[in-house]
């Protein structure tokens, strides 16, 4: 992630000075955002990966769930049961007063589950046909669509190139636009991603919003100031000229740097005493990882584009391997503790509410996780401590901070 963010910053610097300044100097009113909020019934107060404890969700002032649509058809062309199950679940949310922002399938899902390759003319035509199907079939169940998710992040985008990914988004937006009625449609990016948004310019006219995902203080060791939310959101507003949706944001409630002794113990678990020895004995090191943690081994061997040791020790995967958050991976005022997470939400929502071009914000996410999806370790904070509720569904301090902050946004 850190390498990806650095690449994106370099791509963004071409546009940053002008658009950051312009984002602060633009007129405060944003009629298009006001219209989008009217369609949505107000500022979208959302959550990702919610439970079905509807009363608890609404008790926090949350009225929207962001949910992933499974690939709707199989290779035989018939509707998949996963999709029918999704519809029923969304119906239950709607029946209980919670609206849905639905994320359409990734390109690799269409390839894997339906045999539809969007890089081909026939595959693109089929993707367009399914985009129209989703708008019509989910009317009354879905209040908004986000066309796929975070194109530019390699494991979401592949096997498409960035230009192909932009077209994949754009042709679906164009197809959905005349059918959408009062449903909001748009797309998102992981961070500012000037490359994606400039490629998307021909299709911005089909967007009710442009989305961004921001995780200050959680993944990288630089730029960790809460003010960066304002900078990035205003930048994107100026760059695209569209209302902005904060499609994902959050803060981790646990995690700290590991001591040298703790890191040595982690290495010894896999049969080496230092990173140097791991590099020298990379074959044995990987065999030991596979024997103890096969999911970690799969992740490393599948995703390492260079040396395996570099992937483990020089990329952001190092945080996963050691189950740590480095000393500088934090917003200084908000330590990675349950109270620090609560204080973050207490302070961020008033900042967001002052932005007239912002349509809504979706917290990532509802429950803590039992194990990290990237390393399969229960003590890895990077993917296990995001929740407003704990593993037992009990409210954390952040639940109450969100409830109180959202109550002030009318």
State yes or no: pLDDT of 22 exceeds 60.
no
| Average pLDDT for 273-289 | 96
Domain edges within the chain: 2-255+330-407, 260-322
State yes or no: pLDDT of 38 exceeds 70.
yes
pLDDT in tens, 123-145: 999 999 999 999 999 999 999 99
| Average pLDDT for 344-360 | 97
Please state which CATH number belongs to domain 2-255+330-407. Answer: 3.20.20.80
Looking at residue 316, what is its pLDDT?
Answer: 86
Looking at residue 154, what is its pLDDT?
Answer: 84
State yes or no: pLDDT of 26 exceeds 80.
no
Looking at residue 194, what is its pLDDT?
Answer: 87
Report the mean per-residue pLDDT for the chain. 93
State yes or no: pLDDT of 15 exceeds 60.
no
Looking at residue 24, what is its pLDDT?
Answer: 55
What percent of the chain stands above pLDDT 90? 87
| Pairing, β 44-48 against β 209-214 | unpaired
State yes or no: pLDDT of 20 exceeds 80.
no
CA distance 235 to 247: 16
What percent of the chain stands above pLDDT 70? 93
* Cα separations in angstroms, 361 against 72, 233, 240: 27, 11, 18
Work out the pLDDT band at 29, boundaries 50, 70, 90: confident
Q: How far is CA 128 from the centre of its chain?
A: 24
Looking at residue 304, what is its pLDDT?
Answer: 85
pLDDT in tens, 295-331: 999 999 988 877 899 999 998 899 999 999 999 999 9
State yes or no: pLDDT of 369 exceeds 70.
yes
Q: What is the pTM of this model?
A: 0.92
* Cα separations in angstroms, 78 against 32, 71, 133: 38, 11, 13
State yes or no: pLDDT of 3 exceeds 70.
no
pLDDT in tens, 59-78: 999 999 999 999 999 999 99
Looking at residue 19, what is its pLDDT?
Answer: 52
| Average pLDDT for 354-381 | 96
pLDDT in tens, 290-299: 999 999 999 9
pLDDT in tens, 73-119: 999 999 999 999 999 999 999 999 999 999 999 999 999 999 999 99
On the CB side of 106, CA atoms within 13 Å amount to 17
Looking at residue 245, what is its pLDDT?
Answer: 98
Q: How many CB atoms lie within 10 A of CB 91?
A: 13
């Amino acid at each position: 992630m850190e390498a990806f963010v650095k690449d994106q910053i370099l791509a963004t610097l071409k546009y940053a000075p002008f658009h950051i300044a312009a984002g602060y100097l633009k007129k405060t009113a944003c009629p298009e955002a006001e219209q989008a909020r009217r369609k949505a019934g107000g500022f979208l107060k959302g959550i990702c990966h919610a439970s079905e404890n509807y009363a608890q969700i609404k008790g926090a002032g949350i009225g929207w769930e962001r949910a992933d649509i499974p690939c709707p058809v199989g290779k035989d062309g018939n509707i998949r049961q996963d999709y029918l199950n999704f519809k029923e679940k969304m119906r239950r949310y709607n029946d209980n007063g919670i609206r849905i922002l639905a994320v359409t399938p990734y390109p690799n899902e269409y390839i894997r589950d339906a045999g539809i390759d969007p890089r081909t003319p026939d595959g693109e035509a089929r993707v367009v046909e399914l985009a129209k199907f989703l708008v019509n079939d989910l009317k009354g169940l879905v209040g908004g669509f986000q066309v796929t998710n975070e194109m530019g992040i390699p494991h979401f985008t592949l096997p498409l190139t960035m230009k192909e990914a932009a077209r994949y988004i754009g042709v679906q937006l164009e197809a959905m636009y005349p059918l959408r009625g009062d449903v909001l449609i748009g797309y998102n990016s992981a961070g500012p991603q000037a490359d994606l948004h400039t490629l998307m310019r021909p299709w911005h006219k089909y967007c009710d919003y442009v989305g961004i995902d921001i995780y200050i203080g959680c993944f990288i060791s630089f730029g960790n100031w809460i003010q960066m939310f304002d900078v990035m959101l205003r930048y994107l507003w100026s760059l695209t000229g569209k209302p902005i949706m904060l499609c994902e944001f959050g803060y981790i409630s646990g995690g700290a740097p590991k001591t040298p002794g703790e890191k040595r113990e982690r290495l010894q678990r896999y049969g080496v005493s230092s990173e140097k020895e791991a590099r020298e004995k990379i074959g044995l090191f990987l065999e030991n990882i596979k024997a103890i943690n096969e999911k970690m081994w799969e992740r490393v061997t599948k995703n390492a584009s260079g040396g395996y040791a570099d992937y483990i020790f020089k990329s952001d995967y190092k945080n996963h391997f050691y189950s740590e958050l480095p000393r500088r991976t934090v917003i200084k005022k908000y330590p990675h503790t349950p109270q620090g997470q609560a204080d973050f939400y207490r302070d961020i929502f008033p900042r967001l509410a002052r932005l007239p071009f912002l349509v809504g914000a979706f917290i990532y996410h509802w429950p803590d996780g039992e194990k990290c999806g990237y390393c399969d370790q229960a003590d890895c904070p990077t993917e296990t401590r995001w929740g407003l509720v704990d593993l037992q569904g009990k409210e954390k301090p952040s639940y109450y901070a969100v409830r109180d902050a959202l109550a002030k946004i009318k």
